[in-house]
Amino acid sequence: MGNQKIKNESQYKALKDKGYSKEKAARIANTPDSGVKGGKAKPYEEWTRSALYQQAKYIGISGRSKMDKTELINALRNN
């Protein structure tokens, strides 16, 4: 992780306490709306393959170009 600052320290700590890796906890805590409740995002099943691919690219999932929609959903949920 280096010297990157965690934007939402309390969320980062809570995620680490739940067993998340440092990298995944930091990625979640550093999202623009971290800690904001809302649940406004559509479930992945309603996303287009292109949108899923872009999200996988943003997260850094390798092999995404060869994945179909179902595989992208599984990779995003299990990353």
User: Which ranges of the chain does DSSP label H, i.e. alpha helix?
Assistant: 9-17, 22-29, 49-59, 69-77
Residues 28-75 have pLDDT tens digits of 877 776 666 666 778 899 999 999 999 999 989 999 999 999 999 999
Q: With contact defined as beta carbons under 8 Å apart, do 52 and 69 qualify?
A: yes
Q: Kindly state whether residues 50 and 72 are assigned to the same domain.
A: yes
Establish how many alpha carbons lie within 13 A of residue 73's alpha carbon, considering only the half-sphere containing its beta carbon.
11
Handedness of CA 73, 16, 4, 2 (dihedral sign): negative
The domain tally of the chain equals: 2
Residue-number span of the structural domain to which 64 is assigned:
43-79
Whether the pTM exceeds 0.75: the reply is no
Q: Kindly state whether residues 47 and 78 are assigned to the same domain.
A: yes
